[in-house]
Structure 1
Amino acid sequence: MLKYRLISAFVLIPVVIAALFLLPPMGFGIVTLVVCMLAAWEWGQLSGFTSRTQRVWLAVLCGLLLALMLFMLPAYHNDLHQPVVEISLWASLVWWMVALVLVLFYPASAATWRHSKTLRLIFGLLTIVPFFWGMVVLRAWHYTINPYSGALWLLYVMILVWGADSGAYMFGKLFGKHKLAPKVSPGKTWQGFFGGLVTAAIISWAYGQWANLEVEPATLLICSVVAALASVLGDLTESMFKREAGIKDSGHLIPGHGGILDRIDSLTAAVPVFACLLLLVFRMV
């Protein structure tokens, strides 16, 4: 299993970096759309759809919705403050606050959505659509001035999330004693949680020094820590839905890693939350 995980990582990391820096915003948006379609396919299983045909249709409908939203905004890279984008990013903040309540009070909270496919589909839309727009708008950051500026921002968020996750794992292994959310994800501890936040703060400072992101350090730190918190919530939320669905992995598309959702669960929360804070709350445009 470890061999497959390493091989997959060595293949995927260069592909992700190449997509970030070599594709124009529209091309990157299309690639992100395909990833979201695969995520929608897997979310169908979390929503209780066991039929392959039904899940294919969910993926297709998700792709059509995102494509319609994307191609309705031909000049989106010049004006990020479009209603569909802003509404999606604000909706992500509301959804992840709701998700926090669901996780904190699980399994009692599951009584409100356990038997409703419609509610679980709505949760999926609130996870995937803002993630799509968060990826697109961050990649489009100041594109006409510097085509790589947005790529550096997205790379930063990814490094932040992966670094925080690695920090949480190491601190949890070394010092973990108190469970963070035993009814949702028994492996996570409070020691690992705080270790991940410390790691995120260090990454925020170091990357800001290296990349010259033209943002006040305090603003970057706030956005980064909140995004790191959101990444933990994204992981826990997917774990909660998988637990209810009775599955270990969301899919089997990536050898040794499970499904697409298993790889992007933290990013589905961190990316739109970070984008919303940076672009709409602190108005860094």
Structure 2
Amino acid sequence: MLKYRLITACILIPIVIAALFLLPPVGFALVTLAICMLAAWEWGQLSGLGSRSQRIWLAILCGLLLALMMFTLPAYRPYATLWQVKSVLWASLAWWLAALVLVLGYPGSAALWRNSRPLRLIFGILTIVPFFWGMVTLRQHHYDLNHFTGAWWLLYVMLLVWGADTGAYMFGRALGRHKLAPKVSPGKTWEGLIGGLVTSAVISWLFGKYAPLDAAPLSLLVCSVIAALSSVLGDLTESMFKREGGIKDSGHLIPGHGGILDRIDSLTAAVPVFACLILLVFNAI
């Protein structure tokens, strides 16, 4: 399994970086939309949609919703200045605070949504739609001044998340003794969490030193720490829904990694939370 994970990662990471820097905003948005549709297909299983046709319709409706939003917004204005996008990013911040409460209260909190398919579908919308707008909003940031500014910011967030995930795995395997959330994800430990945050901090320092980022240092530090913690929450939240549904992997599209949601669960929280904080709360870039 580890062999397949490493091979797949070595293939996917260059493709992701190339998409960030080589695709224009519209092309990048379309690729992100396709990823979100695949994520919606997989979320259908977490929501209790048993038939293939129901999940296909969920993916199609998700794609239509995102496309409708995208093509009804004025193209000449930065997304971060539009009330529609701002509302989505603020809603994301509220949702992940609520998700934190659900994870901390699990399994008791599952009584609130276990038997409600509409509520689980709403949770999916609040996860996938803000992820899309966080991605495209950061990618479009200052595109008129420098085509690569937004790409650098997205790469920064992704490296934070990958660093937190890799550091948590390595430190957890070597030092892990105290369970972080045993009822949700028994494999995660406090030692792994701390190791992941340390790894993210090192990446943040190196990236800030050598990459062309321009942000208020204190604001960037706060946003980065919260984004790294949010990435852990995103992972735990998906684990909670999978555990409740008796599902090991959200899908089987990526060899050794499971489904699309299994790969982007951390990013679905980290990207919109970081975008909301850095662009709307602190207005730091």
Same fold (TM over 0.5): yes
Number of residue pairs the alignment of both structures matches: 285
Q: Please give the secondary structure, in 1, of the residue aligned with 2:256.
A: coil
Structure 2 partner of 1:198:
198
Contact 2:79 2:140 in 1 (8 A): no
Q: Which has the higher mean CA deviation after the structures are superposed, 217-226 or 72-81? A: 72-81
C-alpha deviation, 1:195, in angstroms: 1.4
Structure 2 partner of 1:67:
67
Q: Please give the secondary structure, in 2, of the residue aligned with 1:212.
A: coil
Contact 1:128 1:268 in 2 (8 A): yes
Aligned residue runs from structure 1 range 73-152, under 5 A? 73-75=73-75, 78-152=78-152
C-alpha deviation, 1:2, in angstroms: 3.0
C-alpha deviation, 1:77, in angstroms: 5.5
Structure 2 partner of 1:158:
158
Gaps of 5+ in 1: none
Q: Please give the secondary structure, in 1, of the residue aligned with 2:252.
A: coil
Structure 1 partner of 2:189:
189
C-alpha deviation, 1:76, in angstroms: 5.8
Q: Please give the secondary structure, in 2, of the residue aligned with 1:205.
A: helix
Structure 1 partner of 2:175:
175
Encode CA deviations 1:9-61: one digit per residue, 9 max, x unaligned: 22211211111001111110111000000000000000000100000000000
Separation (CA, whole Å) in 2 of partners of 1:98 and 1:261: 19
C-alpha deviation, 1:79, in angstroms: 4.8
- Distance 1:147-1:98 versus aligned 2 partners, 3 A rule: same
Separation (CA, whole Å) in 1 of partners of 2:134 and 2:107: 30
Q: Among all aligned residue pairs of Structure 1 and Structure 2, give the percentage whose two residues are the same amino acid.
A: 74
Separation (CA, whole Å) in 1 of partners of 2:100 and 2:73: 32
Separation (CA, whole Å) in 2 of partners of 1:274 and 1:26: 21
Structure 1 partner of 2:271:
271
Separation (CA, whole Å) in 2 of partners of 1:238 and 1:171: 22
Encode CA deviations 1:56-78: one digit per residue, 9 max, x unaligned: 00000000000000111142653
Separation (CA, whole Å) in 2 of partners of 1:187 and 1:118: 30
Separation (CA, whole Å) in 2 of partners of 1:218 and 1:208: 12
Q: Please give the secondary structure, in 2, of the residue aligned with 1:95.
A: helix
Separation (CA, whole Å) in 1 of partners of 2:138 and 2:284: 11
Structure 2 partner of 1:244:
244
Residue identity matched to 1:149 = T
Residue identity matched to 2:103 = V
Separation (CA, whole Å) in 2 of partners of 1:3 and 1:137: 35
Contact 1:143 1:150 in 2 (8 A): yes
Separation (CA, whole Å) in 2 of partners of 1:85 and 1:78: 10
Instruction: Supply the RMSD in Å over aligned alpha carbons.
Output: 1.1
Encode CA deviations 1:180-205: one digit per residue, 9 max, x unaligned: 00000000011111111122222111
Structure 2 partner of 1:22:
22
Gaps of 5+ in 2: none
Separation (CA, whole Å) in 1 of partners of 2:76 and 2:170: 40
Alignment of 1:223 onto 2:223 = yes
